[in-house]
């Protein structure tokens, strides 16, 4: 009876811990299913026919992750001004690769709202004449297609942007638009990566270089939580056995 009393508090604590660990494990399995479906959706969506880009009535209420990588179309004209997003291409679609920048330019749609358009990749160390030519803003009304990319916020590991160079290390379209003097209330909370067909004849900016990559570690996280739950259960059962069936002090003595 005394052993059972000693086990009361440890049993409650172990049970609570086991419930928490198992719930975390099952939650990660739910996240795994969600991420797997999202990856499948993206992989099929990037090749689908484009749909109309989300208009202000929709994105002012917020856009969910299901919009990311959606292939869209829109019409309008580019505005003056460029800003740049640092990246590195290891497996490019076009000829240029290595470290460089994605060139973002403001675009006014025929309906009047604004969106930043990723025109493509410029490799680092490009000669000034070629760079200047690549940064020329296309004139006139154009019809565009590309992949919608939701804006992202920098975290504590993200380098600070360079205001002088208009260089960013996070795809923060709100901050990019502020630097370019765009009306934040009229600016879409996403950017559009142009399809490869919009690469100019000179080859730069090199469009169609969206990196479609997802981190999916949820199965590993789930196994970790379940492993901790099994360890906790094993430790508790071992402890309970020593309380309920203690060895006698003289056990094993001559």
Profile the chain (254 residues) by mean pLDDT over runs of 10 residues.
73 90 91 79 73 91 84 95 89 86 96 96 88 90 95 89 90 93 94 94 90 77 91 89 72 48
d(CA 106, CA 230): 54
Contacts of 173 (CB under 8 A, 6+ apart): 104, 116, 151, 187, 188, 189, 190, 191
Q: Which pLDDT does position 167 carry in this prediction?
A: 93
Report pLDDT for 214.
65
> Within a 10 A sphere around the Cβ of 226, how many other Cβ atoms?
17
Give the long-range contacts of residues 46-52, CB within 8 A, separation 24 or more. 46/71, 46/147, 46/210, 46/212, 47/71, 50/145, 50/146
| Helical pair 2-45 and 218-244, crossing angle rounded to 10 deg | 170
- Beta-ladder partners of 77: 108, 141
8 Å CB contact between 24 and 49: no
For position 248, what pLDDT does the model report? 58
pTM tops 0.95: no
Strands (DSSP E) contained in 90-240 are 98-109, 114-123, 141-150, 167-168, 187-194
């Amino acid at each position: 009876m005394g052993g059972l009393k000693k086990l009361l508090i440890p049993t409650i604590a172990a049970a609570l811990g086991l419930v928490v660990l198992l719930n975390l494990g099952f939650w990660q399995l739910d996240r795994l299913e969600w991420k797997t479906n999202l990856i499948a959706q993206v992989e099929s969506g990037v090749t689908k026919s484009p749909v109309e880009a989300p208009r202000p009535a929709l994105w002012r209420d917020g856009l969910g992750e299901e919009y990311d990588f959606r292939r869209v179309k829109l019409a309008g004209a580019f505005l003056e001004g460029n800003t740049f997003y640092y990246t590195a291409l290891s497996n490019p679609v076009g000829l240029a690769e290595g470290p460089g920048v994605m060139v973002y330019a403001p675009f006014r749609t025929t309906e009047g709202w604004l969106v930043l358009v990723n025109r493509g990749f410029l490799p680092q160390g490009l000669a000034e004449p070629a760079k200047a030519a690549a940064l020329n803003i296309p004139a006139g009304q154009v019809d565009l297609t590309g992949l919608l990319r939701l804006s992202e916020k920098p975290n504590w590991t993200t380098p600070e942007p360079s205001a002088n160079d208009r260089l960013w290390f996070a795809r923060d379209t709100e901050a990019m638009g502020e630097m370019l003097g765009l009306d934040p209330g009229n600016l879409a909370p996403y950017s559009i990566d142009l399809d490869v067909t919009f690469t100019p004849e000179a080859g730069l900016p090199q469009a169609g270089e969206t990196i479609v990559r997802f981190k999916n570690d949820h199965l590993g996280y789930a196994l970790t939580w379940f492993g901790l739950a099994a360890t906790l259960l094993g430790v508790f059962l071992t402890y309970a056995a020593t309380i309920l069936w203690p060895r006698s002090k003289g056990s094993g003595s001559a």
